[in-house]
Structure 1
Amino acid sequence: MSAQQLSASARPTGRVLYTAALLAVASAGVIVIDQVAGGGLAAQLRHVYPGRSAADISMAESSILTYLFTLAVLGAALFTTMAWALRRGRRWVRGVGAAAVVLGSVLAGYNFSQPHPLLMTVAGVVPCVAGLAAVVMLWTERSTASPIPA
């Protein structure tokens, strides 16, 4: 699909991708707010792993926070790149989007099995849902059927 073949109806798909990127950034904000408001992650880890030292809890908390922030940054970067590429008519957006949704779903399932506070886990799923909506839009004929009007 070239830029000339990209339809005007692909613009809403791009908006959904940008929304997913913003939601990924917001999920990082939820993590920060949770930590500032009372360290819900550390409390959850102390509950799940009683008897562990403060150093062990701190190390686990740091590792989990690094993992969650990395997912948020990568998600925001991926969704923004996909929106940019969609505007330029890149063919790979559909495949990358589908792969991202599959990987995001696997990671979301994994995150629900971990001792993360529920709010953090749900906040991480919300951008995935928006990404799924964008991928569904990408795979419809309307996204690529007609050229952009001049």
Structure 2
Amino acid sequence: MNRQYSRSTYVALWVGLGLTVLAIVSAQLGRPLIGEHIRSGYPSMSQDEITSGVNFYAASLTVVGVLGVLGWVATIWRAHRGSRWIRWAAVVLALTGTSVAAFALLVRDTSGDTGLPPLIGTIGLLPCAAGLIAVVLMFTRAATSANNDPRRLHRSPRARTA
């Protein structure tokens, strides 16, 4: 039996994908912000060391983001195909993504400050909100397109007497 999800579910999935791409872009465009954040925590660090740290963070966030994009695409594709197990896979993906994003936002480095600037870390949490919404929607009663047809919900008086 193919399981069909509501339009809202697909909107949440596509928004999550878009927010993940935004997080990847923010990691790359936010390199100067990451550099300033590292410099403020480690004022004695050389510019080469700061650049190395920025490259590490940007690359790490990009790799995690690309994995997230693959997860979103696979979830959208399998949900569209009616896979019964995809909602449980979506739970695992959402929990994994939220754990990684929360770690990136909250982890403290040896300076005592967070490893990432709060803005970059917060942007990384945005796809998780969409993931939570999508998972909740996937577990609500999914109505098939026939059940969403207003003509079936509101029968005409002629149909009732027939």
Q: TM-score range by the shorter chain?
A: 0.7 to 0.9
What is the CA–CA distance in structure 1 between the aligned matches of 2:55 and 2:29, rounded to whole Å?
A: 15
Deviations 1:12-64 (A, max 9, x none): 212211110011111122233323xxx01111111112322222222111111
What is the CA–CA distance in structure 1 between the aligned matches of 2:55 and 2:30, rounded to whole Å?
A: 14
Check if 1:23 corresponds to 2:22. no
Residue identity matched to 1:18:
W
Check if 1:102 corresponds to 2:90. no
Alpha-carbon distance, 1:97 to partner: 0.9
Alpha-carbon distance, 1:131 to partner: 0.6
What is the CA–CA distance in structure 1 between the aligned matches of 2:144 and 2:133, rounded to whole Å?
A: 22
Name the SS of the counterpart of 1:115 in structure 2.
coil
Check if 1:132 corresponds to 2:128. no
The residue correspondences of 1:114-129 to structure 2 (distance < 5 A) are 114-129=114-129
Match of 2:85 among 79, 87, 92: 92
Query: In the alignment, which residue of structure 2 is the partner of 1:11?
Result: 7
Q: List alignment gaps of at least 5 residues for structure 1.
A: none
The answer on whether the counterparts of 2:75 and 2:86 sit within 8 Å (CA) in structure 1 is yes
Task: Report the TM-score when normalising by structure 2.
Answer: 0.78
What is the CA–CA distance in structure 1 between the aligned matches of 2:33 and 2:49, rounded to whole Å?
A: 16
The answer on whether the counterparts of 2:17 and 2:72 sit within 8 Å (CA) in structure 1 is yes
Alpha-carbon distance, 1:134 to partner: 0.2
Query: How many residues are treated as equivalent by the alignment?
Result: 140
Alpha-carbon distance, 1:108 to partner: 2.0
What is the RMSD computed on CA atoms of the aligned residues?
Answer: 1.9
What is the CA–CA distance in structure 1 between the aligned matches of 2:13 and 2:132, rounded to whole Å?
A: 9
Q: Which has the larger radius of gyration?
A: 2
What is the CA–CA distance in structure 2 between the aligned matches of 1:101 and 1:147, rounded to whole Å?
A: 24
Match of 1:52 among 18, 21, 45: 45
Indicate the structure whose relative CO is greater, using CA pairs within 8 Å and at least 6 residues apart.
1
